[in-house]
Amino acid sequence: MNFSAPGDGINSEFNREDISETSSRHYPSIESLVNSDSFEEIDSDRDSVADSVVSLGTPPRSRKFLYPKKEYVDHLQPEEVRWFYKKEGDKRWTPFIGYDSLRIECRFRVQQQNGTEDLTEEEVADLDLILVRGGLYEVDVPKRTCRPVYWTGDRSKIMRGTWFYENTWQPVEDGYASQIETEYLGTFLGHRLDEVTVTDKKGPKPVILNIRFTDFYLEWNSAVDVFMFSDTASSRLLRAVGNKIGVQKTGARLQRGYCMEAVMDDKPTDITHLVFVVHGIGQKMDTGHIIRCCLDMRDRLEHVKAKMFPNFEHQVNERAEFLPVEWRSSLKLDGDTVESLTPQRMRGIRVMLNASAMDVLYYTSPLYRSEITHSLENELNRLYDMFCERHPYFEPNGGKVSVVAHSLGCVITYDIITGWNPITFYDQFVSTVIEDEREQAGSSSEVNSELDKAKKRVSELEKLLTDIHDKQHSSASPLKFKVENLFCLGSPLGVFLALRGLRPQGKGTLDHLIPKGACKRLFNVYHPADPVAYRLEPLILKHYSTVKPLVIHRYDSLNKTPYTKMESTAFAAFQGSTEVIDEKCDVSDKDSVDSATSSASKDGSPVRGKISMTKDLEYRLDYQLRDSGGLTSGYIAMVTSHTAYWTNKDIACFILTHLHPRLQDS
């Protein structure tokens, strides 16, 4: 069993990875306690821990003080024990929040007392699993594991902490801690905690209890004074030299029971908004990539919340949670046909393209499109069922569902929620073929008659299939939930729709693009250098090709203007300046737009003035990240921008403030 001796690289700071656990707590993190000046005084008085917590800013909610004062040594209560988890490769154990730790400890004690001999294997499995870490993970107490509920991998070990290193509050390894606890209770159970051994001798305090292990030993001077000393050969040598020169030996002080009492109200707010994160191309090339991307986005969201909106979730009783959706890995599509056709020359690049860009060709193929859409539909519904089963309050309380999609995932998600029917698209192709044949037939009445019959049959078949499709889509949506918001990141949806024949209607409404019944809001977010991303607004009103997309705020900038109140501006190339566009003017013809866009003096200098446009978009769709500028950075951004959305804090803040609109006002 591995054991970290005192001073073996144990750090007093928690990793930034822990922000997702600490940012939503009711109580200060252990990091703040360890680093606070008042924390050093707990040696003499345990009650000062409670004082230090209150001085760090306890929210105005009634709760028990940490460590109610005890007079006698007794068995540890569940709230004094703290459970931890640690991923493979991590050096530090991360504490579960109080709510999670208490439930794990209670399950542990029940199983210790009653056992599971009379239960079936399935009953044991159901009994052992406890939902933790905001509802995203499950703990298996007997197996000492913590695993994700909605995706694979990312497993952690768990450990029961009873004895702790005082300088870091990391737990002593469970195997050692259990033996230490047994020996401690055997000696001190029932003793007064303030009991001091009286001696006439001067010098070091007498040792009441000594426990030895292979590489270290513990010494008690009283019921609350215990120190751990390394017992390696080098440590013994140093102590021998120290004794000769009069240096007193020093060890690591231990504490029994965790520094913060576990309480049931130390828990996150119930989830009120579920967000599915859908990947685009390339998942076959890097299985599990969307899981890491979702974790990156969640970390940035937690960072933004902790810095810009502390305690927001508890104040308004709202919380959004993000689940990765992996739809590509299970698909077979053409099997290995394309791979067998791939030449050997530059094989690595060709294989990479087959595993990424080929997904676009698959989706545009009539043979594989439905297989891809059904895969995403089934995965979304499966995850939603799993979530509702574990959070039965979600639907009755009016929980909302949104989707964050990337790249090709935006197109597939759009087609699912709008019920786009490719039959019309294929009919247009067949009609074009018929007209081409008619031109070649010339004046042949026989051929023209046959072509008329063919066109009529195609129209009848299209109408029949369209009616069937519309009935199925109207009676039962393929998804088991309504989509509140669709956030498209680096999306080629605009060009897909244009190639399908979608054109501006000149009304300013979005009904021909995305019906309100399908999705309440659509956001098209992109980096200006992203070669895959396209705009959407010119598909609604054509003159919006001259209007700049709204620029996304820096997440940490002060006095942000709400996006609903941001003014629209024209590109300088179209206006001669970047003056504000007056979208509220009622102009009946486009001559005013044409005249305004060409209003310049004869010498070519711009003439400033507002442009009067014929229509208000219903709401803005296109949002652009800030461009760092520069030729070199532009080329670099062209390569990196399409995959950089997940770690961008500005996008995290943008999504957060639209999932919780009241944040824009704060």
* Amino acid in position 612: S
Whether residue 487 contacts residue 406, with contact meaning beta carbons closer than 8 Å, is answered with: no
How far does Cα 642 stand from its chain's mean position? 18
598 is catalytic: no
CA–CA dist 431, 409 (Å, integer): 30
CA–CA dist 298, 301 (Å, integer): 5
CA–CA dist 468, 458 (Å, integer): 15
Whether residue 138 contacts residue 130, with contact meaning beta carbons closer than 8 Å, is answered with: yes
Tell which residue, 268, 280, 313, 528, has the closest CA to residue 403. Answer: 280
Task: Show the 3-state SS of 119-143.
Answer: CCHHHHHHHHEEEEHHHCEEEECCC
Question: What is the SS3 assignment for 560?
Answer: coil
Whether residue 544 contacts residue 537, with contact meaning beta carbons closer than 8 Å, is answered with: yes
Residues with Cβ within 8 Å of residue 117, at least 6 apart in sequence: none
CA–CA dist 4, 255 (Å, integer): 16
Within 10 Å of residue 280's Cβ, how many Cβ atoms? 25
Whether residue 148 contacts residue 136, with contact meaning beta carbons closer than 8 Å, is answered with: yes
Q: Which two tokens stand for residue 217?
A: 């030993």
What residue has token string 């109140």? 565
Whether residue 263 contacts residue 78, with contact meaning beta carbons closer than 8 Å, is answered with: no
Question: What is the SS3 assignment for 402?
Answer: strand
Q: Is the dihedral of CA 80, 81, 86, 92 positive or negative?
A: positive
Question: What is the SS3 assignment for 99?
Answer: helix
Range 460-473 burial, b when 16+ CB lie within 10 A, else e = eebeeeeeebeeee
CA–CA dist 480, 467 (Å, integer): 22
Question: What is the SS3 assignment for 644?
Answer: coil
* Amino acid in position 267: K
CA–CA dist 86, 201 (Å, integer): 46
* Amino acid in position 561: T
CA–CA dist 153, 147 (Å, integer): 7
Within 10 Å of residue 117's Cβ, how many Cβ atoms? 6
CA–CA dist 581, 568 (Å, integer): 6
Tell which residue, 652, 386, 401, has the closest CA to residue 519. Answer: 401
Question: What is the SS3 assignment for 464?
Answer: helix
Q: Could you say which of 20, 156, 222, 407 is catalytic?
A: 407
Helix locations, 402-479, DSSP H: 408-418, 422-441, 445-475
| DSSP letter, residue 413 | H
* Amino acid in position 394: F
The set of catalytic residues is: 407
